[in-house]
Amino acid sequence: MCAPIILTRATKRVYFSMIQKLWLLILATKPNRTVTHVDFFAGLLTAWSYTKTAMLTIIIGTVAFLIFYAAIYLLNEIVDLPSDRADCTRARRPLASGKLTVVEVGITAILLFTVGISLTWRVNPGSILLCGILVLINLVYVMYLKKFAYFDILLISMTRPIKVIVAVLLVTSSLGLLELLPLLVFMYGVTLCYQASKKYCRLDQVKTSNERSVSKNVFSLLSLVGLILGIASLCYLSGAVLYLAIPLLFYNLGYVVFLRIPVTNKFVHVVEQKASEI
């Protein structure tokens, strides 16, 4: 009969520390922002045959994408570390507060990237390039363009279209470039409309001087350009993706209207502030 395993106080402390580190790493990947990937989940709807094999592909592809984006969030945490420590709200984040080290976060990001690439390769190797572009866009945004009030939204608006294309490629290979390109333009247009409207509504709340100095007319113009671009590209969408584009259009326009209403706009701002603390 095996003797029972007795854990000493020191061993328990080590286990507790490991569990605590793991939990902090999970928080650093921002699981609360999973809902912001609604475009990716919508792109999965282009899988017309929901067979057992197709469902397995969707599950693996979704897990791969979420792991990939978790690694992106960890990289952003490392890049944003100096500014996070200087901000009284973001200083509570695990890395900025010193509860996690840069080495721990960096190693975790590398491991997540490795797992994400492996799973993506199994489903659709072509999606790896798009995932790499997502990483590049996020890094350029965080490191350089985040400081510029309107150049940043021109770049960051590309992430949501790429998410949709990644999702589409994960579940179907029957769509060609001529069908994917209008979808990419459409998503960029509606995303630009949403991002510009969001910046417009935040000008009175932000504290950075460079954003205050930018006229609201610029954001209104960018929002209008994005809306026109999105609606115009609808004419070139094939029936295979048109049923996907229409709900996304109304979703983004609904969010824009939501931001324009003072009460709901204030509610969204409070929620975003709470989310930024994590």
pLDDT tens per residue, range 80-94: 888 888 877 778 888
The residue-averaged pLDDT of 238-247 equals 72
pLDDT bin (cut points 50, 70, 90) of residue 263 is: low
Q: 1 lies in a domain?
A: no
Q: 18 lies in a domain?
A: no
Place of tokens 């061993």: 11
Residues 6+ apart with CB under 8 A from 250: none
With a cut of 70, say whether residue 250 has pLDDT above it. Answer: yes
Q: 4 lies in a domain?
A: no
Burial (Cβ within 10 Å: 0-12, 13-18, ≥19) of residue 214: middle
**C-alpha–C-alpha distance, residues 53 and 153, integer Å:** 38
Q: 15 lies in a domain?
A: no
The residue-averaged pLDDT of 216-229 equals 83
Instruction: Give me the percent of the chain exceeding a pLDDT of 90.
Output: 0
With a cut of 70, say whether residue 203 has pLDDT above it. Answer: no
pLDDT in tens, 30-50: 877 766 677 677 666 665 555
Question: What is the number of other CB atoms lying within 10 angstroms of the CB of residue 130?
Answer: 16
Retrieve residue 104's tokens.
């721990």
Number of domains present in the structure of the chain: 1
The one-letter code for the residue type at 236 is: Y
Q: 10 lies in a domain?
A: no
Residue 111: its pLDDT value, please? 92
The residue-averaged pLDDT of 142-166 equals 76
Q: 134 lies in a domain?
A: yes
Q: 75 lies in a domain?
A: yes
Residue 276: its pLDDT value, please? 54
Q: 71 lies in a domain?
A: yes
Q: Of the ranges 61-65, 206-210, 249-253, which is most confident?
A: 61-65
With a cut of 70, say whether residue 63 has pLDDT above it. Answer: yes
CATH number, domain of 216, equals 1.10.357.140
pLDDT bin (cut points 50, 70, 90) of residue 278 is: low
Domain that holds residue 122: 26-170+178-276
Residue 29: its pLDDT value, please? 82
The residue-averaged pLDDT of 210-227 equals 74
